[in-house]
Structure 1
Amino acid sequence: MKKYGRTYQRSISLGATSDDKILSSLAGVLGNDLIITEKMDCENTTRHGTG
């Protein structure tokens, strides 16, 4: 079984707490496809533009 990777927070994230990891730079995602996942009600929801 593979563990789901850690989600880093943006420094402007309103929901970030003291134990969250903060994303220091967006350089790794600029110019690349970006897949955004949103955790809702204890579920992982994945949304991708191509389905």
Structure 2
Amino acid sequence: MTRYEENFKQMIVELNQTGRSVRGLAKEYGLSEATIYKWKNLYLPDQSTGLTG
């Protein structure tokens, strides 16, 4: 399992917050979309997923 530096994870989350898509970031940096969503939940725990049920 690959370990990533905290600053790298935060950078990815910040790029997503500036409008970059999760899919695009995953492709560009060789990450899975699930990993990016996990990092978003870690660094932005108060953010809603936007899902309604």
- Scaled by the length of structure 1, the TM-score of the pair is 0.22
Instruction: Report which of the two structures shows the higher radius of gyration computed on alpha carbons.
Output: 1
Tell me which of the two structures has the higher relative contact order, counting C-alpha pairs closer than 8 angstroms and 6 or more residues apart. 2
By percentage of residues, which structure has more helix?
2
By percentage of residues, which structure has more strand?
1
